[in-house]
Amino acid sequence: MKKELDFGFKIFAVGDIHGCLTSLENLLEQLPISWGKDYLIFLGDYIDRGPDSRAVIDLLIELKNQYPEKVITLKGNHEWMLERFLKGIDIETYLYNGGDTTLKNYFNFKTGKIEIPLEHLEFLKNLKLYFELYNYFFVHAGIRPGIPLEFQTEEDLLWIRDSFIFSEDEFSKVVIFGHTPFSAPLVLKDRIGIDTGCVYGGYLTAVQLPEIKFYQIPCGGRL
């Protein structure tokens, strides 16, 4: 992995945030990132369950506006569920999976309506399903073994778990993923999982590549 070092920049990927704004702010302060030079890749699930989903998206939009080529935001299954909810699809599924906390963030008490700013809707619409950089493949949930990367389905990229994590196949790129919470980062030869359950009382985790160095903030942002 000399190539990344030769290019003079680092790569950081951040796991599932789920509305934990304070943890995210403290994690970003901890990262030794050179803004505008290093890559910062968010793996999805910015919303639901945690208290500050709207503010998390505000912060991500601000970062993308400042560093559009270096801040990468991927779609998670919770952003996918919110989009379907707004279309009137699987309403109960979204609410059951913590969507009610996000909707409260967007509820206007004066009008009695849920009002999501156009800027936030555009943010959701433009989220990428995956991002490739050198021999890394960044994605929310994982990939279906035995299928070329360009033929992966949206459902697998956003939802897959065991058949990816426990696959004995060796993937052509190192897959950096979230979605499935672990008590500590999962590090395999070709897979690195960095959802460490912040919203469940665990940690918000970032990995620095190619060093595979981890940075963590406990739930609630306590240092």
Quick: pLDDT tens for 112-157: 999 999 999 999 999 999 999 999 999 999 999 999 888 999 999 9
- What was the pLDDT predicted at 127? 98
- What was the pLDDT predicted at 75? 98
Dihedral in degrees, nearest 10, Cα atoms 166, 167, 173, 178: -30
CB atoms within 10 A of CB 80: 23
DSSP state of 110: T
- What was the pLDDT predicted at 7? 62
What is the rounded distance in angstroms from the CA atom of residue 45 to the CA atom of residue 187?
21
CATH class for the region spanning 14-221? alpha beta
Question: Strand, coil or helix: what is 214?
Answer: strand
* Contact by Cβ (8 Å): 193, 185: yes
Interior/surface letters 41-55, b for 16+ CB within 10 angstroms, e for the rest: bbbbbbbbbbbbbbb
| Per-residue pLDDT at 191 exceeds 60 | yes
- What was the pLDDT predicted at 149? 84
- What was the pLDDT predicted at 221? 54
- What was the pLDDT predicted at 92? 96
Q: Which residue has the tokens 């989903």?
A: 53
Tens-digit pLDDT profile for residues 20-77? 999 999 999 999 999 999 999 999 999 999 999 999 999 999 999 999 999 999 999 9
Tens-digit pLDDT profile for residues 4-29? 445 689 999 999 999 999 999 999 99
Mean pLDDT value of segment 85-96: 96
Confidence band (pLDDT; 50, 70, 90) for 223? Answer: very low
Please give the C-alpha separations between residue 122 and each of 43, 68, 117, in angstroms, as whole numbers.
18, 14, 9
- What was the pLDDT predicted at 6? 52
Catalytic site positions: 78
Question: What are the sequence ranges of the domains in the chain?
Answer: 14-221
Question: Strand, coil or helix: what is 39?
Answer: strand
- The residues facing 17 across adjacent strands are none
| Per-residue pLDDT at 220 exceeds 80 | no
Question: Strand, coil or helix: what is 7?
Answer: coil
Nearest alpha carbon to residue 177 among 204, 133, 138, 128: 138
